[in-house]
Amino acid sequence: MRNRQQDKKTQETGATDEGSARYREILNAAAVLFAERGYHGTSVRDIGERVGLLGGSLYHHIKSKEALFVKLHNSALQAAGDEIEAAIAGLSSPWARLEAASVKLAELQLDPASITMPLMNDFRQLTPELQAQLIGTRDKFEAIFDRLVGELNLPPDIDRKIYRICLLTLLNSLWTWYRPGTLTPTEIGHEVMKIFLPRS
């Protein structure tokens, strides 16, 4: 028995280097892989390889694969929420505000440089305990669009909840089919909004 005393365990808090460069590297690498291959399809060794570390060495920076995913998910949603709020800050027309928010979200989802939002939809592949850690952040994010849709003067026969879900689902799924080429992410965002804007 080596450890009569439980030794210091410097990182028992679970919080590792919140802001180190290495940690952000890992966060970015994990974001790409989770987005490309899903949670279960990505191993910690895959992530390590992308940042030049062995799988086991990652655990000096992260607490667990699950914690990494939660951190990634929550901080991405938080950042996206902030950017969207900023994008609509100066606008007053309800339709203009919704369009600006949608376009901004499209840009965020399709920007390869940003930490994208892996598995915004579809976290069915995650364990229920993991899901529980994510719904809070997600609800808060969706509340932004809930508010924006609530301000709209929509035709009375349109269900606002379904309208909002559909818009968010589409924007969050853009990256599954978008390929850079003829249209920019911004243009894609406007194109999608054409479907949701009032016609006539």
Q: In this chain, which of 15, 20, 36, 54 binds its own copies, going by CB under 8 A?
A: 36
Rounded Cα gap, residues 196 and 198, in angstroms: 7
What does the per-residue mask of binding to its own copies show for 37-76, with x meaning CB under 8 A?
xxxxx-----------------------------------
Sign of the dihedral through C-alpha 105, 185, 167, 120: negative
Count the site residues for its own copies by CB under 8 A: 34
What does the per-residue mask of binding to DNA show for 114-133, with x meaning CB under 7 A?
--------------------
How many helices (DSSP H) and strands (DSSP E) are in the chain?
A: 7, 0
Task: Name residues whose C-beta falls within 8 Å of residue 131's C-beta, 6 or more positions apart in sequence.
Answer: 123
Residue that is written with structure tokens 């709209």 in the block: 152
Q: 61 or 69, CB closer to its own copies?
A: 69
Q: In this chain, which of 29, 31, 35, 98 binds its own copies, going by CB under 8 A?
A: 35
Q: In this chain, which of 7, 12, 129, 157 binds its own copies, going by CB under 8 A?
A: 157
Q: In this chain, which of 27, 34, 61, 126 binds DNA, going by CB under 7 A?
A: 61
Report helix, strand or coil for 139.
helix
| Stretch touching DNA by CB under 7 A, among 14-22, 127-135, 151-159, 170-178 | 14-22
Sign of the dihedral through C-alpha 165, 166, 168, 173: positive
